[in-house]
Amino acid sequence: MRTDFLPYALPSIGEEEIAEVVDSLRSGWLTTGPKVQRLERDLAAYLGARHTLAVSSCTAALHIALTALGIGPGDEVIVPTMTFCSTANVVVHLGARPILVDVGPDFNVTAGAIEAALTPRTRAIVPVHYGGQPCDLDAIYRLATRHRLPVVQDAAHAVGAHYQGAKIGSDALAAPRSVVCFSFYAIKNMTTGEGGAIATAEDKLAEKMRLLTLHGMSRDAWKRYTGAGSWYYEVVLPGYKDNMTDIQAALGIHQLRKLDGFIEVRRRYARLYDDAFAALPEVETPPVRPGRSHVYHLYPIRLALDRLTIDRSQFIEELRARGIGSSVHFVPVHLHPFYASEFGYCPGDLPCAEDLYRRIISLPLYPAMTEDDVADVIQAVFDVVQRFRKTKEGVS
């Protein structure tokens, strides 16, 4: 049994990140400046994207993308229910209606569920690459093209992931009016503390989104305090205050360089979990679909509850008692009180997500863990399963 508690997640911050932040502090550029530009350039090169914009969060990225696409009152936007609340909240902020749809057993939204939810008021589709495994983009794009709908991908978990050999966010995977939104939140695969980014191949959309991130002020407003800038600016639309700061970008520049290495460690640890849990019929490992590379932001196991005498919440408590932190991703959005009361969703409406929700536990999986930590998690899961396994007589 561990003597110290293993947190569910931790960032990996090295001396390079610390030195770069100190350099920002000493330079006087505390807000958007040259390091934000550098991060945008580096990210564009890494993704193979024509345009990238660094912003204050993935939530801001989603909000800006939908705003730039003209989503507003009376519109419907299709969102999977198995996501973090912000994917749907931003739709509500715009006065539009989120149409929450079910997911498949791989946690990702299906094209069938999206198609069934289309109405004449549908204005956009927001698929989520759950846990870092890309969803069925080809099928979703086919649907979007047929119905002339923009696709705003919530890639909060999926920076560095590939679909059919191309990176999520790359121009190779772009479709008309498609936008991809990433999160650099503290425990994401790469972090800027809080932060996010937008990628798109569309010039006009990129220009509009850039204006929206900083008050709608005319081009390069951030330069107005430099020798190269001018005090004069014009507000061409009522934008937001969603810009990234140089202090955040200082972290991001180094995190991006380390990202592929981080992903490799995540994959290696995921294999260790997969191999170990193959011996436990009580624990289903996360499904991996062909043609996609998974970056394992999450490692959600699904409990076979009919084989256990405890439920998911009790399982989490038993892990905690053994020194292991864990989490649940996510409470399906339609079950949250606001969405139930405002839009009339009820338990039973989206059964696959609800079934998953009852059974899932996200185990710790991050590069700051050691292989011994991984072994401790495996040991704790085995221990809980063996203690609470159903036998013919009842408890084992």
By CB under 6 A, tell whether 84 contacts ligand PLP: yes
Which is closer to ligand PLP, CB of 84 or CB of 315?
84
Q: How many residues bind ligand PLP (CB under 6 A)?
A: 14
The two structure tokens encoding residue 39: 């991060």
Strand partners, 93: none
The two structure tokens encoding residue 289: 């679909």
Among 57, 67, 200, 293, binds ligand PLP (CB under 6 A): 57
The two structure tokens encoding residue 271: 């294999």
Query: Nearest approach, Cβ of 58 to ligand PLP (angstroms)?
Result: 3
**For the range 26-29, what are the long-range contacts, defined as Cβ-Cβ under 8 Å and sequence gap of 24 or more?**
27/246, 29/246
* Omega cis (within 30) before 330: yes
Query: Nearest approach, Cβ of 82 to ligand PLP (angstroms)?
Result: 9
Give the residue numbers annotated as catalytic, written as ranges. Answer: 188
By CB under 6 A, tell whether 154 contacts ligand PLP: yes
Angle of CA points 237, 241, 245, to nearest 5°: 130
Q: Are 360 and 300 in contact (CB under 8 A)?
A: yes
Query: Nearest approach, Cβ of 142 to ligand PLP (angstroms)?
Result: 23
The continuous run of DSSP H or E covering 124 comes out as strand 122-125
Query: Nearest approach, Cβ of 368 to ligand PLP (angstroms)?
Result: 18
Which is closer to ligand PLP, CB of 32 or CB of 57?
57
Query: Nearest approach, Cβ of 314 to ligand PLP (angstroms)?
Result: 25
Question: What DSSP string runs through 210-233?
Answer: HHHHBTTB-TTGGGGGSTT--S--
Which is closer to ligand PLP, CB of 89 or CB of 293?
89
Among 67, 178, 183, 293, binds ligand PLP (CB under 6 A): 183
By CB under 6 A, tell whether 86 contacts ligand PLP: yes
Query: Among the residues of the chain, which ranges form H helices?
Result: 15-27, 34-47, 58-68, 85-93, 111-117, 137-146, 203-213, 246-277, 312-321, 337-343, 351-359, 371-388
Per DSSP, 8 falls in state S
Query: Nearest approach, Cβ of 310 to ligand PLP (angstroms)?
Result: 27
Q: How far apart are the first and last CA of the chain?
A: 20
Which among 182, 175, 134 is positioned nearest to 154, based on CA atoms? 182
Among 52, 83, 191, 326, binds ligand PLP (CB under 6 A): 83
Which is closer to ligand PLP, CB of 156 or CB of 250?
156
The two structure tokens encoding residue 85: 């609340």
By CB under 6 A, tell whether 180 contacts ligand PLP: no
Which is closer to ligand PLP, CB of 131 or CB of 150?
131
Distance, in Å, from the CA atom of 282 to the CA atom of 113, rounded to the nearest integer, reads 29
By CB under 6 A, tell whether 59 contacts ligand PLP: yes
The two structure tokens encoding residue 159: 């920076």
Angle of CA points 17, 21, 26, to nearest 5°: 145
Q: Name residues contacting ligand PLP, limited to 237-276 (CB under 6 A).
A: none
Distance, in Å, from the CA atom of 170 to the CA atom of 110, rounded to the nearest integer, reads 22
Which is closer to ligand PLP, CB of 86 or CB of 213?
86
Binding-residue pattern over the window 349 to 368 for ligand PLP, x denoting contact by CB under 6 A: --------------------
Strand spans (E) along 126-266: 152-154, 162-163, 166-167, 179-183, 196-200
By CB under 6 A, tell whether 196 contacts ligand PLP: yes
By CB under 6 A, tell whether 52 contacts ligand PLP: no
Q: Point out which span in 80-88, 138-146, 162-170, 214-222 binds ligand PLP (CB under 6 A).
A: 80-88
Among 125, 156, 214, 316, binds ligand PLP (CB under 6 A): 156
The continuous run of DSSP H or E covering 39 comes out as helix 34-47
Query: Nearest approach, Cβ of 185 to ligand PLP (angstroms)?
Result: 4
Binding residues vs ligand PLP (CB under 6 A):
57-59, 83-84, 86-87, 128, 154, 156-157, 183, 185, 196
